[in-house]
Amino acid sequence: MKLLTVVAALLGAAMAAPTITLRDGSDVTIVHPGTVKDMKVTKENTLNGTYNGAQTKIVALSEISDRPGNSIPFEFVNNFSGRAVNAYIVGLDPQKRVVFVRQDGTLVYPSSGGSGVPVPVKESIKISLPGKGQKLSMSLPISLESGRIYFAEGELQFAMVRTGDGGDGLVQPSVTNLGDPSAGTDWGFVELTFTKEGAIYANISYVDFVGMILSMDLTTDDGTPKQVTKGLTNGAMQTICDGVRQQGSKDGRPWGKMCIANSAGAAVRVLSPNDYTVIDPNGFANYWESYVNQVWDKYSKQPLIVNTQGDAGNVSCKVSGGQISCPGDNLGFQKPSAADIWGCNSGPFENRGNGVHLAAVARICAAFVRTTLLLPGGNVQPSLPASAYYTANPTNHYGRLIHEHETDGRGYAFPYDDVNAGNENASGTVASGRPKTLTVYVGGYTA
């Protein structure tokens, strides 16, 4: 975020109702936004596409040759009480090229120009939303995969870079790079795929962070009811920031540091523990150690029943030889580290192995994140109701706070938030093969 003067920054923070100024910022993380030179190219924030030529190309709506049978109308409703909101629609076109879509349907194909370091996207790509209480209407004229609809209080910086395979990659804003040009901006996104057959998939998730509050609904042409993901309540980002700071004051862990503030002292997002670990690998290093040891001790004496909720049914697992072993599982589980538990995708929870192992990965990691393995009834996973999640310590207090402040329980707080004993639906997804209109609400849902 560019700051003209300190006074202007403080004034801007005061005028933006959805942000909070942290009087004592010692327990939060303050960002120091840089320039494009400070952007980092990682697999997490780079969208790899095919090479698009040495120069940026702009294609008018009337000149688009590869269009699906029908477009999908979008509506963006502005319920945000702060400064001006901008949207950015980006993804890969049918030829896997990085493309931005303007409000009028014009396509912008940015180019790295062959540069091995990020170069800024200078063309006009933002879509300016009207004021609070108003909506913007437009249509997506092409199919799009690995897409995102970004929304930001202000502007975001994107860049292009030549990838190792000779393609063009989009370097997107990063929440774990404290020097990213967009680090001081409040933003969020909706994940989006629109197929050439006209099907749509859109998702809101809090697996990585909580930023600008977004909600959405989808109407269809097939007679099915409107699909709604309300997600977090308006103002939840600030409330969750307060919550993690309070938790840090209780247990001495760096929960408050997961709250990210700009240089004016205003909170702009809250990172998940998994993403915070990128910034501070040692902050939670031994957080789960005692709990893991207790779990290993308990299940060396009695079985842990994993309900695969599939063809394998219930499998009776037990600690043997230092690892949890399950019948039919070709790998087993060594003791996980804190990073393994936060991300559910490394160490013993790496996404590999046979069907029984993969089913056990999801259910055992979910049980760790929610701290249900030592509760009465926790010897069967999953079996306990959502009311039992996050009720013991240590636990994932970020996940606890996410679900406390969700309006409808929709939106994952960690990768396996869909693991439940009953019919709870934590997915933030809306999808249809015959969509009519996708509406995104910025700053809280209104029917």
CA atoms within 13 A on the CB side of 419: 30
Tokens of 251: 């247990």
Q: Which residue, 126, 91, 109, is CA-closest to 54? A: 109
> What is the predicted pLDDT for the residue at 7?
29
Same domain? 176 vs 302: no
Same domain assignment for residues 200 and 303: no
Domain total of the chain? 2
With 0-12 / 13-18 / 19 or more C-beta atoms within 10 angstroms meaning exposed / middle / buried, residue 290 is exposed
What is the predicted pLDDT for the residue at 172?
Answer: 98
CATH at 361: 3.30.920.50
Same domain, 98 and 194: yes
Q: Which pLDDT does position 11 carry in this prediction?
A: 31
Domain that holds residue 308: 288-393
Same-domain pairing of 322 and 193: no
Closest CA to 277 of 26, 44, 18: 44
- Per-residue pLDDT, 66: 67
Say whether both 218 and 105 belong to one domain. yes
Does residue 402 lie in a domain region? no
What string of pLDDT tens digits covers the 447 residues of the chain? Answer: 333 332 233 233 333 333 344 445 579 999 999 999 999 999 999 999 999 899 999 999 988 876 656 799 999 999 999 999 999 999 999 999 999 999 999 999 999 999 999 999 999 999 999 999 999 999 999 999 999 999 999 999 999 999 999 999 999 999 999 999 999 999 999 999 999 999 999 999 999 999 999 999 999 999 999 999 999 999 999 999 999 999 999 999 999 999 999 999 999 999 999 999 999 999 999 999 999 999 999 999 999 999 999 999 999 999 999 999 999 999 999 999 999 999 999 999 999 999 999 999 999 999 999 999 999 999 999 999 999 999 999 999 999 999 999 999 999 999 999 999 988 889 999 999 999 999 999 999 997
Q: Report angle CA 86, 101, 203 to the nearest 5 degrees.
A: 70
E runs forming strands in 79-181: 85-92, 98-101, 107-109, 119-120, 127-128, 135-140, 144-153, 159-162, 168-171
Same domain, 206 and 296: no
Q: Which residues of 392-408 are buried (b: 16+ CB within 10 A; e: fewer)?
A: eebbbbbbbbbbebbbb
Do residues 112 and 202 share a domain?
Answer: yes
| Residue among 378, 379, 397 nearest 388 (CA) | 378
- 247 located within any domain: no
Residue 349 DSSP class: G
CATH number at residue 161: 2.60.110.10
User: Does 87 share its domain with 197?
Assistant: yes
317 found inside a domain = yes
Q: Are the CB atoms for 218 and 226 separated by under 8 Å?
A: yes
Residue 69 resides in a domain: yes
Separation between Cα atoms, residue 256 and residue 271, nearest integer Å: 10
56 occurs within a structural domain = yes
Predicted confidence at residue 300, as pLDDT, reads 98
Q: Is the domain of 324 the same as that of 205? A: no
**Quick count: other Cβ atoms within 10 Å of Cβ 431?**
15
Residue 48 lies in a domain: yes
Which one, of 412, 435, 420, 417, lies nearest residue 208 by Cα?
412
Question: Is there a single domain that holds both residue 89 and residue 218?
Answer: yes
